[in-house]
Structure 1
Amino acid sequence: MNAVSATHLVLIPSYNTGEQVYATVRAARAQWAPVWVVVDGSTDGTAEGLQAMAAADPGLRVWVLPQNSGKGAAVLHGLQQALAAGYTHALAMDSDGQHPADLIPAFMQASIARPDTMVLGRPVFDASAPLLRVRGRRVSNWWTNLETLGAGVADSLYGFRVYPVAALAAVMQRQPWMRRFDFDTEAVVRLAWRGIKPVNLDAPVKYLRADEGGVSHFRYGRDNVLLSWMHTRLMVEFVLRLPALLWRKARRLPPFQA
């Protein structure tokens, strides 16, 4: 299947994933058009390879950022381009082979059926998943559930998702965060604060070994500090807005803009 959409696109931020990015892009293109890739200052030569692929494929577009600014920054660049081109929704997926490209059509159809929602992947782990990361995300999920008053976000970190473009771009443009590893979690919290409900769909996640082409830029110390700082910021803001949020929720009024 290779569906073509005028409203929904696939958005792939990429940074130094080597040859794996080509397989990811080919798999996504086999399922959907258009597919957009934002190369976030990669130094591994893949920008040139992706541009060559795009030159031969009208369903593929590539942007190359001059320096590495983080996943969220790359996604924001893609969102701004999507808004300018008239797209309403973007399915974000990683370039490292962890996400299931064959589920792109199912996630897109769920979004098309309910365009006022965010369609979130609920990860199904196999034996390749590092136990420390599986356990660690439970902590983030607990905080996210608290910060969103139990809005129903099944997983706060899995990046295979369909976002409403205008809402997410507006959220990101209003504050300086969400540019690096804090992007995925803060995106769902702030969208939930805007009243955008989650739709959770199961999706497998695979952690490729180095000999399989797997590349990970996650750093336990650095990125866990970043997540802790993010949840601290969100909790402070959550507490400040909680009385008004509860009042509006009791009266079924739209929540404040995040």
Structure 2
Amino acid sequence: MTSLDPSAAAARCLVVLPTYQERDNIRAMISAVLDASPRVDTVVVDDGSPDGTADLVSAMRVHDPRISLISRPGKLGLGTAYLAGFAFGLDAGYGAIATMDADGSHDAAVLPAMLAELDAGRADLVIGSRYAKGGTVENFSAARKLNSAVANAMARLLLGLRVRDCTSGFRLYSAALLRRMRLDALKSTGYSMVPELLYEASAAGARIVEVPIAFRNRAKGVSKVTVGEILSWMRTVAALRR
């Protein structure tokens, strides 16, 4: 890995895209991310996808130096993928690091508006929010809407978070905030890392701003959030409260 020129590093953003079995989606997602802003690069953190996701990304890298790949030997979890991406970005000198879903649910066109909040000094953490004024959710079943509402209410109540969308994985962190956070103390490995990161960011004194997004449920592939992940999420939130 080559570090960025220090004079340009602070202005650049790295988007972390965790993947498992996302070959059908990853090409379009990477293109959308890179088209969003010339300031943006991306790193795909692939967990040994048997569908060849990493092979496709590796082929794309040959033609675009803004694409990086961390290929891991097995399914190590969303949470550890985030941490791997953060470490990569911080080591390379990026001034901001974002996380997004690789399935196309998050609209990369919102990235410039999120970066503007960091640039203006109004935020250390910007959340792409489905539930901020102007945010929308498309193609969600009634059950998923209920699950999301309950999860957000639980996180706000138990963790004391004044955030409308506590479960959004579309986030933009300043590098300075990530360095203040106790990343080495985080315990989650899977989806439960989402509330744990938010809790730790709040504990580190983050100024948090929400930018509305239109969330579109994936059109291809299957969701990786299992019942076990949901139960782990609930246990994590309860443990953080204590």
TM-score by length of 2: 0.86
Matching residue's letter, 1:201: V
**1:90 aligned residue (78, 97, 102):** 97
Gap change, CA 1:127 and 1:13, over 3 Å in 2: closer
Measure, in 1, the Cα distance between the counterparts of 2:140 and 2:10.
33
Contact 2:159 2:237 in 1 (8 A): no
- Corresponding residue for 1:46? 53
1:3-40 CA deviation, whole Å, 9 max, x = no partner?
x9743221111111221111111111111331221112
What is the alpha-carbon root mean square deviation over aligned residues?
2.0
Query: Shift in Å at residue 81 of structure 1?
Result: 1.2
Report the CA distance between 1:145 and its aligned residue.
1.8
Percent identity for Structure 1 against Structure 2: 26
1:61-100 matched pairs, under 5 angstroms: 61-100=68-107
- Offset, 1:90: 0.7
Contact 1:97–1:206, Cα closer than 8 Å, also in 2: yes
1-structure distance, mates of 2:168, 2:141: 14
Question: Which of 153, 156, 159 in structure 1 is aligned with 2:169?
Answer: 159
Mapped pair 1:10 → 2:22:
no
Query: What residue number does 1:241 align with?
Result: none
1:28 paired to 2:39 = no
Aligned to 1:179: 189
Aligned to 1:193: 203
Tell me the alpha carbon deviations over residues 45-104 of structure 1, each in whole angstroms, 9 at most, x when there is no partner: 010110110111011111111221111111111111111111132111010110001111
The whole-number CA distance in structure 2 between the counterparts of 1:224 and 1:69 is: 17
User: Which amino acid in structure 2 is aligned with residue 38 of structure 1?
Assistant: V
Mapped contact 1:207–1:214 kept (Cα < 8 A):
no
Q: Paired residue for 1:224?
A: 230
Alpha-carbon separation, structure 1, partners of 2:92 and 2:98: 16
Contact kept in structure 2, 1:69 and 1:179, CA below 8 Å: yes
Instruction: Give the AA of the match of 1:223.
Output: E
Q: CA deviation digits over 1:101-128, x for unaligned, max 9?
A: 1111111121222275210111134441
Question: Given the two structures, how large is their TM-score scaled by the length of structure 1?
Answer: 0.81
Structure 2: runs of 5 or more not aligned: 1-8
Q: 5+ residue gaps in structure 1?
A: 237-258
Matching residue within 133, 138, 141 for 2:144 = 133
Counterpart of 1:154, as a letter, is R
The SS at the match of 2:45 is strand
CA distance in 2, matches of 1:115, 1:86: 21
Partner of 2:209, secondary structure, is strand
Does the aligned pair in 2 maintain the 1:72–1:181 contact within 8 Å? yes
Change (3 A) 1:147 1:168: farther
1:105 aligns with 2:115: no
CA distance in structure 1 between the partners assigned to 2:162 and 2:89 by the alignment: 27
How many Å apart are 1:181 and its aligned residue?
0.8
| CA shift in 2, pair 1:60/1:5, >3 Å | farther
Moved over 6 A (4+): none
